[in-house]
Every structure is written in C-alpha cells, then in structure tokens.
C-alpha cells in the first residue's frame, strides 16, 4: 500500500502557507488492512480512518459518482484497484488535486502547479458539478487568495454558472452553506466571496437580501460609488481591515439591507432604511442558521449605524438611549464591534477610505463616562425601585452633556 499527502496541505506547502490539517490518501489497501494496523474507521459513507498516533485523516483512494440530489446521493467505490489519479480527478480544483509522496515528490496529473504559478482557480474535471457546494468553495478560495492575484478560470466560472442555474445550490443544507460562509468571512478579502458568487449567478439562492442591493442608488454626494451593492462590498473590505472577527464582518455585510426595501420613488434617498433592514437581517440569518450573536450584532448595526454617523448632531439624551438600546453597558465587547462596523461603513465609500472617524472615539468616551455612574452610589443616595433606573439614566445624560460641552462648548449651549 502507498500513502500520499493530498489536498489543501500540498497546495499550501507549495504556496508557503501554514498547513493546519494534513489529509492522506491510501492506495492499494482494504479497510481490514488498515484497521489491523490500528487505524480507526470514522464516517459511514466514505472509507476514512484516523491514524492511531497522529489522529490525521487517511482515506482510501475512491471514485465517486452522484446518484441523486443533495449531499448523500453518492455512489462510492473504494476497492484496492482505485488509482491515485482516479482519486485526484474527482476533486474540485487543480490546485487541490495534487499529491505528495513520502519523499516530498509532487504528483500532479492535472497541472495544479502550473495553475498555482499562473494564479488560476480551475476545476479538475466535469465531476466538479457533483458537489454544488464547490461553487461556494471556489468563491471562498478566491477570497482567500485574492491578494496574491488569484482569479477564477473563465471555464470554471461558466460551469459554476450552469450549476447555479440548475437550482442545486438551494438543495444544499444550510449548515454547509453557513460553514463555508463563516470561513469566507474570516478570509483576507471576504468581499470577493460575495462578488464571485454574484458573478456566477449564485448569490441570490442563499443571499437574496444582498443580491438585490446591486442597482440601488445612493446620493453621489455622500456615496461617490453610488451603487449600494458596491458600497456594501467596500464596507466589508474595510471591516476586514478593522477586524478579523467574522461576526463583525457579517454585520458590516448586513448593515444596509434596508436599502433594498425602501420605496423606489424616494431613491437615491433611503429614509427609514435602518429599521426596515432589521427584519431582513433576521430573515437572512435564520435562513443561514447563523449563531445568534451574528444576528444580534447585525441587527444593531442596521438599526443604529446612522445614529453613530450623526453623533455630533444628537442630543445627550439620544446618545444615552443608543448606549442603552444596544446594551453597551452589559455587552461592551459587542458595542466595540458595532463601532467598528460604523467606521467600516463610513470608510467604505470611494474617497473616504483614509478619512478619520472621530464618532467612534467620542462614543467610547461617552460609554466610559456613563460607566462611572454606579448603581450602588445611586442606591446609597436613597433611591428605590423604579427610581434607581431613572436616576442612573438621568445621571448618564448629564455626564454625556458634560462630555459634549468639553468637546464643543458652543454646541452644548444649543442643547
């Protein structure tokens, strides 16, 4: 029996990327031979085993043929006579279809090394279409390697287009779609994931609320890029610079969903889009089965991002209301993520990328001042029951008023 390193580990070694997971293929062995050597069989559908010492995954070389819709409709053949080349040809991309033997020799029947050099994401064979999730995988790899100059091959994009056209993306399980999406959100250029999906007509299946944003205009004075879809991608790009957290990036992606629901006759203005976006965030998040923290932050971002932009026009009372409504006192970390989304929104416009966003710093100070007001002290003053909360609120408002007058003495006189 021969053992080869395969898949992402070979690709990332050749790219000089860190390798987090090593997958192996075993050629010329039976399950019995492996279990005899101490390997533990996992997975009922595929002959996959765990190495007794390293815990790495070892799979018997196999061929697969799709026999129905969905993930489990596969006919798997993994007898001893399956060759390495047969196993590699069923894989998604040429750069993922290379193997390495124990001497470090690369086995590359489908020119993965050439595509790595030319920075092309190209499917190996028509077998690509047997797993529609690969459409999302390609988009994710495009997001990961975008900064290196990788592009999706024209013929692969065409194939992705035809897969999207069959409606097969809809048949994917939400859990698999979310797993790819959250990984894509964590990649270096997450916006490219959504751009590639849109390019192949595969965005509307799972992300219709995002897909409709293209073609919706904004006032050119505030948004030189005009288009809401383009703006959303720019915001996501900025969010990825400000934070490596998928939850923050997801909220950036969702902050303007309401613009897809404002009456056309008001365009390019979008009065009320902040609140209109909230049920749309909910719909998208429930379809994707996101963890609740993703949905919560995205809803806050949708509802309150304009408050932050206009912070300097707000009354102290309203600023405290924003802090209270967003639960900033109990969830300061999430509030910080919200501030990053607002900053990404501000910067995610043509010509605004390098501008300062002083609102975030001011809001942090407001929170800090309000945090100095302690319930115990209010109680010690003799307040009871409902009155405690009211007094805390009142003191917060005067603390913010004081802060604003320090920042800008003239503005506070107007208030």
Which residues are at the interface with ligand CTP (CB under 6 A)? 7-8, 21, 23, 91-92, 96-97, 131, 133-134, 137
CA separation for the pair 123, 93 (Å, rounded): 4
Q: Please list, in sequence order, all residues whose beta carbon lies within 8 angstroms of the beta carbon of residue 61, skipping any fewer than 6 positions away.
A: 25, 26, 27, 78, 82, 83, 84, 86, 87
Least distance CB 175 / ligand CTP (angstroms): 14
Judged by CB, which is closer to ligand CTP: 12, or 282?
12
Judged by CB, which is closer to ligand CTP: 25, or 400?
25
Least distance CB 88 / ligand CTP (angstroms): 8
* Centroid of chain to Cα 95: 23
Q: For the chain, how far is it from start to end, CA to CA, in angstroms?
A: 81
| Nearest-10 crossing angle of helices 228-242, 190-199 | 150
Judged by CB, which is closer to ligand CTP: 97, or 196?
97
Judged by CB, which is closer to ligand CTP: 188, or 267?
188
Q: Is 134 helix (H, G, I), strand (E, B) or coil?
A: helix
Give the CA count within 13 Å in the CB-facing half-sphere of 272: 6
Token digits of residue 271? 């009065």
Judged by CB, which is closer to ligand CTP: 197, or 320?
197
Least distance CB 370 / ligand CTP (angstroms): 43
Least distance CB 23 / ligand CTP (angstroms): 5
CA separation for the pair 43, 355 (Å, rounded): 52
Judged by CB, which is closer to ligand CTP: 7, or 202?
7
Least distance CB 274 / ligand CTP (angstroms): 35
Judged by CB, which is closer to ligand CTP: 93, or 288?
93
Least distance CB 344 / ligand CTP (angstroms): 25
CA separation for the pair 408, 282 (Å, rounded): 39
Judged by CB, which is closer to ligand CTP: 89, or 306?
89
Contact 91, 61 (CB under 8 A): no
Cα maximum dimension of the chain:
85
Contact 234, 346 (CB under 8 A): no
Judged by CB, which is closer to ligand CTP: 6, or 392?
6
Least distance CB 12 / ligand CTP (angstroms): 6
Contact 178, 289 (CB under 8 A): yes
CA separation for the pair 273, 269 (Å, rounded): 9
Backbone angles phi, psi at 85, to 5 degrees: -60, -40
Least distance CB 130 / ligand CTP (angstroms): 9
Give the CA count within 13 Å in the CB-facing half-sphere of 265: 0
Contact 350, 343 (CB under 8 A): no
Least distance CB 329 / ligand CTP (angstroms): 39
User: Which residue minimizes CB distance to ligand CTP?
Assistant: 8
């Amino acid at each position: 029996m021969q053992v080869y390193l395969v898949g992402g580990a070979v690709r990332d070694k050749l790219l000089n990327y860190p390798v987090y997971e090593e997958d192996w293929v075993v050629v010329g062995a039976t399950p019995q031979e492996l279990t005899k050597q101490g390997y533990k069989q996992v997975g009922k559908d595929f002959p996959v085993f765990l190495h007794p010492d390293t815990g790495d995954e070892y799979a018997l070389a196999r061929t697969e043929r799709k026999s129905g819709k969905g993930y489990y409709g596969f006919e798997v053949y993994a007898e001893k006579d399956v060759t390495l080349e047969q196993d590699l040809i069923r894989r998604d991309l040429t750069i993922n279809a290379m193997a390495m033997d124990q001497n470090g020799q690369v086995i590359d029947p489908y020119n993965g090394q050439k595509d790595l050099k030319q920075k092309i994401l190209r499917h190996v064979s028509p077998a690509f279409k047997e797993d529609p999730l690969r459409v999302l995988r390609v988009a994710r790899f495009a997001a990961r390697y975008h900064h290196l100059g990788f592009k999706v091959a024209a013929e692969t994009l065409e194939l992705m287009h035809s897969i999207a056209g069959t409606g097969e993306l809809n048949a994917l399980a939400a859990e698999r779609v979310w797993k790819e999406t959250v990984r894509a959100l964590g990649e270096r250029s997450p916006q490219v994931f959504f751009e590639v999906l849109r390019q192949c007509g595969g965005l509307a299946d799972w992300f219709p609320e995002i897909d409709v944003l293209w073609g919706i205009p904004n006032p050119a004075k505030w948004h030189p890029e005009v288009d809401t879809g383009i703006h959303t991608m720019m915001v996501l790009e900025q969010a990825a610079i400000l934070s490596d957290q998928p939850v923050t990036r997801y909220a950036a992606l969702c902050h303007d969903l309401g613009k897809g629901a404002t009456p056309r006759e008001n365009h390019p203005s979008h009065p009320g889009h902040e609140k209109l976006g909230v049920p749309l965030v909910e719909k998208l998040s429930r379809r994707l089965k996101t963890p609740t923290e993703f949905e919560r932050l995205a809803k806050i971002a949708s509802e309150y991002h304009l408050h932050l932009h206009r912070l300097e026009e707000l009354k102290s009372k309203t600023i405290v209301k924003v802090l209270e409504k967003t639960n900033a006192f109990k969830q300061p970390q999430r509030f910080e993520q919200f501030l990053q989304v607002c900053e990404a929104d501000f910067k995610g416009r043509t010509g605004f990328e390098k501008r300062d966003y002083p609102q975030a710093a001011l809001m942090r100070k407001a929170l800090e001042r309000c945090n100095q007001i302690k319930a115990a002290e209010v109680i010690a003053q003799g307040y009871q029951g409902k009155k405690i909360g009211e007094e805390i609120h009142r003191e917060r408002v005067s603390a913010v008023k004081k802060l604003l007058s320090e920042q800008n003495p003239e503005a506070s006189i107007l208030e």
